[in-house]
Amino acid sequence: MSRLEIYRKQAKQLVRWHREGNRSVGGRIRHLARYAQVTDREALALDFPLHEAQEIVALEAGYGSWAALRAAADHDQLPPGTAVRSLRLARAIPVVFVADVKASAAFYRDSLGFRIDFLHGNPPFYGSVSRDGACVHLKFVHEPVFTVGPRDRNGLIMVFVEVDNVKALFAEYLAAGVTFTQRLQKEAWGGHDFIVPDPDGNMICFAGRSAIGFSVRPPRIDATSTSARRRRGPASPDKPPGAAV
Residue 179 placed within a domain: yes
Calpha distance 34→50 (Å, rounded): 16
CATH number of residue 207's parent domain:
3.30.720.110
Say if residue 134 is in the same domain as residue 151.
no
Say if residue 179 is in the same domain as residue 244.
yes
Say if residue 163 is in the same domain as residue 140.
no
Task: Tell me the one-letter amino acid at 107.
Answer: F
Single out the residue in 105, 126, 145 at which a domain terminates.
145
b (16+ CB within 10 A) / e for 206-216: bbbbbeeeeeb
Say if residue 128 is in the same domain as residue 202.
no
SS3 (DSSP) at 193: strand
Residue 83 placed within a domain: no
Say if residue 116 is in the same domain as residue 32.
no
Say if residue 155 is in the same domain as residue 244.
yes
* pLDDT score recorded for residue 228: 42
Which residues neighbour 102 within 8 Å (Cβ) at sequence distance 6 or greater?
A: 119, 123, 124, 127
Neighbours of 137 (CB within 10 A): 17
Say if residue 191 is in the same domain as residue 244.
yes
Number of domains into which the chain is organized:
3
Residue 198 placed within a domain: yes
SS3 content of the chain, % helix, strand, coil (to 5): 35, 20, 45
One digit per residue, pLDDT tens: the chain, 245 residues? 688 899 999 999 999 999 999 888 988 999 999 999 888 889 999 999 999 999 999 999 999 999 999 898 877 755 655 555 678 888 899 999 999 999 999 999 999 999 999 999 888 999 999 999 999 999 999 887 766 665 556 667 899 999 999 999 999 999 999 999 999 998 877 789 999 999 998 999 999 975 444 444 544 444 444 444 444 444 444 444 444 43
Domain that holds residue 135: 91-145
* pLDDT score recorded for residue 154: 61
The separation between CA 32 and the C-alpha centre of its own chain, rounded to angstroms, equals 26
- Taking alpha carbons only, the member of 127, 3, 18 closest to residue 61 is 3
Residue 80 placed within a domain: no
Residue 79 placed within a domain: no
Say if residue 59 is in the same domain as residue 128.
no
Residue 188 placed within a domain: yes
* pLDDT score recorded for residue 235: 42
Single out the residue in 109, 129, 145 at which a domain terminates.
145
Residue 84 placed within a domain: no
Say if residue 173 is in the same domain as residue 135.
no
Which residues neighbour 103 within 8 Å (Cβ) at sequence distance 6 or greater?
A: 199
Strand partners, 69: none
Calpha distance 150→130 (Å, rounded): 28
Half-sphere exposure of 182 (CA within 13 A, CB side): 21
- Taking alpha carbons only, the member of 140, 138, 118 closest to residue 30 is 118
* pLDDT score recorded for residue 222: 46
Task: Tell me the one-letter amino acid at 244.
Answer: A
Residue 102 placed within a domain: yes
Say if residue 189 is in the same domain as residue 176.
yes
Contacts 24+ apart (CB under 8 A), 240-245: 241/187, 241/188, 241/189, 241/216, 241/217, 242/217, 242/218, 243/217, 244/220
CATH number of residue 113's parent domain:
3.10.180.10
Write out pLDDT tens, residues 25-53.
988 999 999 999 888 889 999 999 999 99
Say if residue 109 is in the same domain as residue 165.
no
* pLDDT score recorded for residue 141: 92
Say if residue 41 is in the same domain as residue 65.
yes
Single out the residue in 74, 103, 121 at which a domain terminates.
74
Calpha distance 197→181 (Å, rounded): 7
